Amino acid sequence: MEITLSNLELERYDRQMLISGWKEEGQKKLKSAKVVVMGAGGLGCPASLYLAAAGVGKLIIIDKDKFELNNLNRQILGWQKDIGRFKSVAAAEKLKELNSYIEITPLILEIKEDNIHELIKNASVVVDAMDNWRTRFIINKACIEKEIPFVHAGIFGLYGQLTTIIPSKGPCLRCIIPKTPKEVATFPVLGATPAFFATLQVMETLKLIVGFEKTLTGRMLVFDGKYMDFLIINVEKRLECPICSIG
């Protein structure tokens, strides 16, 4: 089926279609794309907002938890009235009001090894908006197996990191982080930190779909807001990586 854009869609996305290399063709690619946002927390909320605003045709938002009062400094799709409600559902409700031209599916479930393949099926890009390493490595393994690109971000306080994993093109998350870091149940976060990284995740995601060549594949962006320091580190594939090495 050929994807077309209505006059209202052309008007809505007018400014981004002016970006060099985007045009109507790029917007049609976005409309036919499916993006899975893993987590509706500090990263997932702003990421979903900008993905929806940009016109990604199918958006899946996955989170098992309900909004709590101390989430509200950063999880901006959770408002006071949503405390006690499932995050993915409350988020999807608002996103539908923002953009009724796209399909938004909230899922209330825990991401596990036995459901991950079904969750990422036919995804154009997966957004890692998780807050724990165990789930991140489940996403990493499945995305490598299914050859689906994913955009990783992780934050702590005013610090954050970002990279884009394109299977067979660069290192996977396990190449970069061979030893699973210690999980911290409650860590400091300023809302602006995940907001900043989430919008960069969206930029990488949209570029991958529209077809921009240069992404953060093979590179890790590190930012420390405390000192306003940006750093780009080259990251390489490890030949002995148990996840992505061949044979």
Q: Name the residues that contact Zn ion, by CB under 5 A.
A: 172, 174-175, 241, 243-244
Minimum separation from the CB atom of position 242 to Zn ion (A): 8
From the CB of 240, what's the least distance to Zn ion, in Å? 9
Decide whether 37 or 175 has the Cβ nearer to Zn ion: 175
Dihedral pair phi/psi, residue 240, rounded to 5°:
-95, 10
Of 40 and 126, nearer to Zn ion (C-beta) is 126
**Positive or negative, the Cα torsion across 165, 168, 170, 172?**
positive
| Choice between 210 and 243, CB closer to Zn ion | 243
C-beta of 143: minimal distance to Zn ion in Å? 11
Return d(Cα 153, Cα 46) in angstroms, integer. Answer: 13
Q: Which is nearer to Zn ion, 90 or 176 (CB)?
A: 176
Q: How far is CA 26 from the centre of its chain?
A: 19
Q: How far apart are the first and last CA of the chain?
A: 39
Residue 82, CA atoms < 13 Å, CB-side half-sphere = 20
Burial class (CB in 10 A: 0-12, 13-18, 19+), 164: buried
Residue 233's DSSP bridge partners are: 220
Minimum gap (Å) between residue 140 Cβ and Zn ion:
8
Q: How far is the CB of 223 from Zn ion (least distance, A)?
A: 24
Report the residue number, 151 or 244, with the smaller CB distance to Zn ion.
244
Least separation in angstroms between residue 56's CB and Zn ion is 27
In whole angstroms, the minimum distance from the beta carbon of 40 to Zn ion comes to 27
Helix or strand or coil: residue 159? Answer: strand
CB 195 within 8 A of CB 203: no
C-alpha dist (Å) from residue 21 to 17, 51, 217 = 8, 18, 19
**60 vs 116, beta carbon nearer Zn ion:** 116
Largest CA distance in the chain: 52
Whether the Cβ atoms of residue 140 and residue 173 lie closer than 8 Å to each other:
yes
Smaller CB separation from Zn ion, 95 or 235: 235
